[in-house]
Amino acid sequence: MKDVIKRFCTHRLAMAGLCVLLVELVLLFLLPLLMKLEPYEIYSGFGSAPSKEHILGTDSTGRDLFARLIYGGRTSLFVGFFLY
């Protein structure tokens, strides 16, 4: 087992992938707490462009695209890690 961990730690692409995954995990779980994101709330701007209130804009029904992206990422990681 020590050999596997040692080889993993010396492989640059594996370490880069691990760093990306850890940053993604931290962001996916901290951003909803910090930004008060609500993926199902309908805002007044239907299909609006990105702004300060909505980082990626809103979809055709007025939902925040960034909030939906974050919650979708959480669901995808849950399925990938725990239901595999």
Per-residue pLDDT tens for 11-45?
A: 999 999 999 999 988 988 888 888 887 888 888 77
Beta bridge partners of 58: 64
Place of tokens 């960034």: 66
Domain range for residue 71?
2-82
Mapped onto helix, strand or coil, the DSSP state of residue 84 is coil
Model pLDDT, residue 22: 93
- Which one-letter amino acid corresponds to residue 23? V
- Report how many domains make up the chain: 1
Model pLDDT, residue 38: 85
Q: Name the residue among 52, 56, 72, 76 with its Cα closest to residue 64.
A: 56
CA angle 10–13–14, rounded 5-degree value: 65
CA distance 63 to 65: 6
